[in-house]
Amino acid sequence: MLASDKTIAVVGLGITGLSSARYLTRKGASFCVMDSRENPPGLVELKALNPDVRLHVGGFRQDWLADADEIWLSPGIALDHPEILRWKGQKLIRGDVDVFAEEARAPIVAITGSNGKSTVTTLVGEMAAAAGVKVKVGGNLGTAVLDLLSDEAELYVVELSSFQLETTRQLNASAATILNLSQDHMDRYPDMLAYHRAKIRIFFGCRQAIMNKQDALAQGPLAEGVKVTWFTSDKPGHNEYGLLADGEQIWLAKGNQKLLDTAELKIKGAHNWLNALAALALAEAVSIPLAASQSALKAFKGLTHRCEWVAEKSGVTYFNDSKATNVGAALAALHGFSKAFSGRLFLIAGGQGKNQDFRTLHKAINQQVSGCILMGIDAEQIATGLVPAVRIARVAAMDEAVAAAAAMAQPGDVVLLSPACASLDMFQDYQARGESFRQAVEALC
């Protein structure tokens, strides 16, 4: 718990810093706020919240850091930032998730991974709500964790990024999972091992780990006595969650027990079935009744910008997966759609590559995609690995991309926006990119 005589330096404003400021103000704590940006987001709100707070923008005040008892670091600032690294070993450097874990009195379900974490977080939250549980959902998705804290909460379901986990010492989740791990944020981490080390902190102090049986990188060392439940896209073993084939039907299953026919799900694709299995395992781990989980799954329509159905135009179906900001997310969508649809697949991709290795994406496109429409600063990194059988179109704007895809596709085909790249070279964020795609599709005759 926060000692009344401590001084906290909140480094980085934005959503997390502002949430930390609200928490510290409620506690009557002494704190200061600093940000390297001259006009960071949340500045107006902070001044309205606490007009007397010590605030510095345009850099980090080393004298304030020297005087602070703890440094609370926003996830956008790396631990190895030179002006922060100098205090390692001298100050307690932590993040809002670490503080949240200390104060939360209800069980925590914690979810991370390169892809699918927002879908699974939302699903588990809706499963809990369907069971009548007073649940708070947030973290990297939606509400910041310190704003979730409530005496009335019976369960917390939180999505966590690797950035947030870097400064989390002991999460103590009742159930935790790394859904999958693939190259992402390689502009922040020197290699996949460093990325993996950040992610596995989600298991620190957990009671039950839900693990992807087919992704070794998503598995981590556990303390003695931690229960493990596996999920897989293959036939499940005893007490495992997986997929059971029965003729043309594919079932979500636990062991030999059929839980739900995938035909009853509104979310499509094998990758979403895997997300559903992880959600079922997490829900069971915190005693959410199966009937409530099944009901929530059947009602779930998916999240905006995540393999979202947009429209059918002239017999061609368009899907918005703008949230696929890395290769792993695009691969999951490609594999999922290739199994779920019989028509040809046309892919719109490209943007900021974030120093990713595109070779696995090249292989998937060459095997599963009939045409690839490329845009953005790193489009050529994708184009160079494609075989001549894949039709390629290079465009400068989203409306051109959709028009090019529509010209290639025929009735029964699918057009998928799954960029495998960040969006900031052309758009404000992935949401703006997805909305641009939606508008371009809707404008088609």
Q: Which residues, at least 6 apart from 51, have a Cβ–Cβ distance to it below 8 Å?
A: none
User: Is the distance from CB of 354 to CB of 422 less than 8 angstroms?
Assistant: yes
The 10 Å Cβ neighbour count of residue 159 is 25
Q: How many CA atoms does the CB half-sphere of 291 hold within 13 Å?
A: 2
Closest among 49, 144, 164, 38 to 98, alpha carbons compared: 164
Q: Which residues, at least 6 apart from 166, have a Cβ–Cβ distance to it below 8 Å?
A: 75, 78, 79, 95, 198, 201
Rounded distance, CA 278 to CA 56, Å?
Answer: 43
- CA-to-CA dists, residue 410 to 243, 305, 315, 365, 382, angstroms: 32, 24, 7, 19, 24
Could you give phi then psi for residue 82, rounded to 5 degrees? -55, -35
Sign of the CA dihedral 299, 303, 304, 306? negative
Return the structure tokens found at 69: 């008892």
Closest among 201, 369, 210 to 275, alpha carbons compared: 210
Which positions are catalytic?
117, 140, 185
Sheet holding 308-313, edge to edge: 308-313, 316-320, 414-417, 345-349, 371-374, 391-394
